[in-house]
């Protein structure tokens, strides 16, 4: 009995394996394998292009960083100088107004500074914060 049961089990296993093989389409599997190799090739090409671009960008950045930092320092010193000049001009204007009050037309002494505050990123400010920042940056009236 054991031999006949084993033979029956083997026959059943062969039938099941045969059915599984017929469920799998070999052409579809080969097509999938070819597509995977094609995608792998494209990804490797893209990776090579991106690596080359990263190296190129790194070299370009190394070339311009010195000039960029020098120009940034120059612009900061220029801003400091201009702030000093405008402060002196406002002081001179207030002294002239104190001595000769009729020289300036009415309303010309009010200076409203509508320049944005460049120290604070615009994306960090809400609409209300921008309005209050603009008000707080206004120059005092002379």
Residue by residue, DSSP assigns 72-108 as HHHHHHHHHHHHHHHHHHHHHHHHHHHH-TTSSPTTT
111 Cβ contact list (under 8 Å, min separation 6): 90, 138, 139, 141, 142
Q: How do residues 61-119 score in pLDDT, each as one tens digit? A: 999 999 999 999 999 999 999 999 999 998 998 898 888 888 777 666 666 666 777 77
Confidence band, pLDDT 50/70/90 cuts, at residue 26: confident
Distance from C-alpha of 98 to C-alpha of 74, rounded to nearest angstrom? 36
Please tell me the pTM assigned to this model: 0.43
Distance from C-alpha of 53 to C-alpha of 51, rounded to nearest angstrom? 5
């Amino acid at each position: 009995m054991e031999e006949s049961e084993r033979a029956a089990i083997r026959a059943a296993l062969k039938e099941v394996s045969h059915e599984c093989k017929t469920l799998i389409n070999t052409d579809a599997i080969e097509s999938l394998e070819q597509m995977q190799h094609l995608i792998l090739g494209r990804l490797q090409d893209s990776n090579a292009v991106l690596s080359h671009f990263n190296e190129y960008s790194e070299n370009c950045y190394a070339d311009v960083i010195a000039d960029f930092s020098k120009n940034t320092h120059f612009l900061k010193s220029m801003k400091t100088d201009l702030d000093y000049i405008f402060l002196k001009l406002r002081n001179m204007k207030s002294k002239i107004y104190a001595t000769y009050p009729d020289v300036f037309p009415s309303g010309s002494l009010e200076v409203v500074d509508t320049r944005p505050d460049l120290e604070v990123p615009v994306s960090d400010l809400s609409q209300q914060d921008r309005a209050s920042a603009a008000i707080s940056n206004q120059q005092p009236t002379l």
